[in-house]
């Protein structure tokens, strides 16, 4: 199972980003819609016990994929509070593909701002590599209005224990996430 995951960057201040970015953002959102529709289908199939394969049946049992991929609304504090909608997804573990773990992806805004295509500016955060947790208490799941997207129901807020570093050449962007607020270190 391989699945492309592209978070959506919500541009609050388009002047700080390259022109091409707005278009790319729209394409990503379209792709995300298609993907969510597919996941909905998978979820309803597994509810009926008609899993396509074992992995989908397992995913169907997970709270996080009942209707929609859980969405996280990240705020980049050091980048004009721009927001990024990231989806958390269950993926096979790299070292043990028969088991799954949670992963979410965010965009390195430093890379994006220096012209790296968004698809190559992805930081994939896997549970097994970087400890993170999603606080899904009701106060963190209130619907949120996000510019260009509308109302989003976040799955909760995400926090990381460790720092996350962009591994792209010549970048070194290092962050920590507290309650979905991305802070540079």
Q: Which is nearer to Zn ion, 43 or 111 (CB)?
A: 111
Closest to Zn ion by CB, 43 vs 121, is 121
Least distance to Zn ion from the beta carbon of 174, Å? 10
C-beta of 108: minimal distance to Zn ion in Å?
3
Nearest distance in Å: CB 44, Zn ion: 37
And the tokens for 93? 């573990």
What are the residues binding Zn ion (CB under 5 A)?
A: 108, 110-111, 166, 168, 171, 173
CA dist., res. 118 & res. 9, Å (int): 9
Residue number, 6 or 173, with CB nearest to Zn ion: 173
**182 φ/ψ angles, rounded to the nearest 5 degrees:** -90, 120
| Cβ distance to Zn ion smaller for residue 90 or 164 | 164
Q: Which helix (H) or strand (E) holds 31?
A: helix 20-47
Q: How many residues does the chain have?
A: 185
Task: Please report where in the chains the tokens 């270190």 appear, as a residue.
Answer: 185
Burial of 1 (0-12, 13-18, 19+ CB in 10 A): exposed
Pick 9 or 69: Cβ nearer Zn ion: 9
* Pairing outcome for strands 71-76 and 181-184: parallel
Residue 116 CB, nearest distance to Zn ion (Å)?
A: 7
- Which among 140, 111, 134 is positioned nearest to 9, based on CA atoms? 111
Distance of closest approach, residue 182 Cβ to Zn ion, in angstroms: 12
């Amino acid at each position: 199972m391989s699945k492309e995951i592209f978070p959506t960057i919500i541009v609050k201040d388009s002047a700080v980003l390259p022109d091409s970015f707005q278009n790319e953002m729209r394409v990503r959102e379209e792709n995300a819609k298609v993907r969510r529709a597919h996941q909905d289908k998978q979820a309803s199939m597994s509810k009926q016990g008609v899993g396509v394969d074992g992995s989908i049946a397992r995913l169907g049992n997970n709270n996080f994929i009942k209707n929609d991929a859980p969405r996280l609304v990240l705020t980049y504090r050091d980048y004009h509070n721009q927001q990024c909608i990231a989806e958390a997804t269950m993926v096979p573990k790299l070292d043990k593909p028969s088991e799954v773990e949670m992963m979410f992806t965010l965009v390195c805004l430093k890379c994006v701002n220096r012209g790296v295509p968004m698809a190559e500016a992805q930081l994939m955060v896997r549970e097994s590599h970087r400890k993170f947790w999603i606080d899904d208490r009701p106060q963190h799941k209130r619907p949120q209005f996000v510019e260009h997207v509308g109302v989003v129901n976040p799955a909760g807020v995400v926090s990381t224990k460790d720092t996350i570093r962009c591994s792209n050449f010549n970048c070194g962007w290092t962050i920590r996430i507290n309650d979905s607020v991305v802070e540079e270190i």
